[in-house]
Amino acid sequence: MNGGYVRLDQTVARATRDAPPRGPEGLRVLIAPIWGRQALVAFGCEALIENLLGAGIEVILRPHRDSYTQDAARLASLQARFGAHRRFHWARDMPPGDDSFGAHALVTDWSGASLSFAFGCARPVLSIDVPRKINNKDFHRFASVPLEVALREEIGSVLAPEDMDKASSAIAGLCAAPERTAARLRELRGKWVYRLGDAAEFAACHIAELADRRRAQLTR
């Protein structure tokens, strides 16, 4: 069954309601990396944040929940360095209810948050090209390419870790034509996402149908 993704439907609804601000307020960026040794936090996140803040971009950092234990020292260092900056925020301190926090763009590494943001919010993603987090050493035996890899440059752009000083320019370019970018991402979403908008109803009906079949089998 080609079911949809309920959480993506919810993100689409929230993103439509809570669009990022436009005008003199400037750009707002959400940084949402994976956790572990290959995470963006371990590859010059300080330089990235410093570049964005220096360009007048508001930064919201949303570490993976496991980073609070795995990378506690690095996160403490980021707090010490940027915590007092008026344009730097931790996601945990932001009002709940909107996963994108009204960001104009997402910065991440290899996190699946890239597709959730691009398809859910129809806003661009800047991917920092840190080493991949590979849990299956036999991945090369499979011909299929993960969407997180195949669509990186279609949902935004890719930046090398040594080019963190170009992050603000890359973000400005990605956000230069928001309507055109949103239209392109919605078109891409239509190609890859099943049953957008009614995933919950479809799944509930399918589960009810399976339950009815099972009940009929038991009463024969």
We report the CATH number of the domain holding residue 105 as 3.40.50.2000
Residue 43's pLDDT is 79
Q: Say if 1 falls within a structural domain.
A: no
- Span between the terminal Cα atoms of the chain, in Å: 27
Residue 24's pLDDT is 46
User: Structural domain tally of the chain?
Assistant: 1
User: Residues near 6 by Cβ (< 8 Å), separated by ≥ 6?
Assistant: 199, 200, 203
**Lateral strand order in the sheet of 88-90:** 88-90, 58-61, 28-31, 105-108, 125-128, 156-159
Determine the average pLDDT of the residues in 210-220.
78
pTM of the model: 0.87
Q: Say if 172 falls within a structural domain.
A: yes
Convert the pLDDT of each residue in 10-45 to its tens digit. Answer: 888 887 776 776 654 689 999 999 887 778 888 779
Residue 104 lies in domain: 6-218
Residue 22's pLDDT is 61
Percent of the chain with pLDDT over 90: 47
Q: Say if 184 falls within a structural domain.
A: yes
Least confident of 94-98, 114-118, 214-218: 94-98
